[in-house]
Structure 1
Amino acid sequence: MTLKRCEIERGKDNLSEGAKMYLLHWEYMAGSIVVHALLQDARADFDLHYVDMGAGEHKAPDYLSINPTGRVPALTLPGGSTIGETGAIVTHLCEVFAQAGLSPQPGDTDRSEFLFWLNVMTTMGYPTVARWNHPERYAKSEAAIAEVERKASADLDDFFDIMEEAISGPKSFLKRGFSALDYYLSMLTEWSANRQALFAAHPKIEAVYLYASQRPAYRAAMNRHALPQAAA
């Protein structure tokens, strides 16, 4: 694997000659969904570099040289440095592209609310989904793996209950209207085993998803991130 092997998907409205681009390192149905959507919404100039985690490319030396954690997503910035972790990337993009209205900005009264719930999603929701999807990473025996999966499923139910109560807008997480939180929460629902049941029990989450998922930027991200067999 070489980082020169890139799939190109450029922002349509920021293609000035010689402009330096972002490079999003992504995998199918991964946390790169939210980053991709934000790059689209910000009309940023960016390329995509597919990281085949099933083939171990996230552990290859050249990828580890830019993201020592070996995690996806990562975002290489126009200056050449790379940041990882969805919370950090989302915060960075929302600040750099403040004009896109992706989040409250420093000084806004709901800035702390945005940061709080973003971190809840990244530290409570995201890892719980990972634990539920891959319980074998957290235990060895079949009985222990099954117990990890059951506990993760219960924890995920609790997480979505918390999200439901926290939503303050009629179709957005924040009362102010759309923000990156809506993309992030929508992404988390993409990994649900039964999204119909999830939405039936959480009508506010469904409203957020229905609004966010119809935005062109989110649709573009999901068109790219959908598993190949699901798209066939």
Structure 2
Amino acid sequence: MKLFYAPGACSLSPHIVACEADIDLDLCKVNLKTKQTESGGDYTEVNPKGYVPALQLEGGEVLTEGPAIVQFLAEQKPEKKLAPEHGSLEHYRVLEWLNYLSTEVHKSFVPLFWGGSDEDKAEARERIGQRFQYVEEQLAGDYLMGDDFCIADAYLFTVYNWCSMVEVDTGRWPKLKAFAERMSQREGVKKAMRAEGLL
């Protein structure tokens, strides 16, 4: 399988999950501004949406959208227990977190990364603060689902790290800070970040 990624972008989340699951992926870096792959190909021929991640499967099919990809990867190695059993309430809690992170947290960063007005950026920082405050209040254990790492933690770690790039003060979230430090020590996280040139 091949993962199309941009260093530190939301594609870091499935990359971390693959490393945690001991799934070897071929990596292909994408320039999100030019929509070119590192080999000079037109990325929109892989993913017409033009953004990462995209996971090309062995048969040539392409799966897009990070929350779908991390679930797919977790199911390839069920013995790693990176996602709760289908049908359990915990399974739906993980889906709840993935959707919240995707729609409420991730998308709030758009004006900060893609040229929003000063007013748009101020509103985005306010919204991001509110969204992470909610996460801070919900973190009761080492990870989102308690004591064990799950696929949603990879996404939370990825979007939390963006705060330092866009001047969002994280000092008000001690639980999130401890979570990020804990995550940064995981071997799968270090492996993914090294591969993307982030360490």
**Map of 1:1-232 to 2, 5 A cutoff?**
22-57=1-36, 62-136=42-116, 145-169=117-141, 171-193=142-164, 197-198=169-170, 200-226=171-197
RMSD: 2.2
Query: Percent of aligned positions with the same letter in both sequences?
Result: 28
Q: Distance in 1 between matches of 2:54 and 2:27?
A: 11
Given the superposition, is the C-alpha separation of residues 224 and 54 from structure 1 closer, same or farther in structure 2, using an over 3 Å criterion?
farther
Structure 1 residue identity aligned to 2:178: A
Q: Distance in 2 between matches of 1:56 and 1:62?
A: 6
Q: Distance in 2 between matches of 1:69 and 1:92?
A: 19
Shift of 1:72: 1.0
Shift of 1:85: 1.1
Count of aligned positions: 196
SS of the aligned residue for 1:188 comes to helix
Q: Which runs of 5+ in 1 are unaligned?
A: 1-21, 137-144
SS of the aligned residue for 2:82 comes to coil
Given the superposition, is the C-alpha separation of residues 226 and 159 from structure 1 closer, same or farther in structure 2, using an over 3 Å criterion?
farther
Q: Deviations over 1:16-41 (max 9, x none)?
A: xxxxxx10001122111111111111
Q: Distance in 2 between matches of 1:163 and 1:131?
A: 21
Report if aligned partners of 2:98, 2:152 keep a CA contact under 8 Å in 1.
yes
Shift of 1:226: 4.1
Q: Distance in 2 between matches of 1:132 and 1:85?
A: 21
Choose 176-185 or 188-197, whichever is displaced more: 188-197
The equivalent of 1:141 in structure 2 is none
Shift of 1:133: 2.2
Report if aligned partners of 1:25, 1:48 keep a CA contact under 8 Å in 2.
yes
Given the superposition, is the C-alpha separation of residues 197 and 150 from structure 1 closer, same or farther in structure 2, using an over 3 Å criterion?
closer
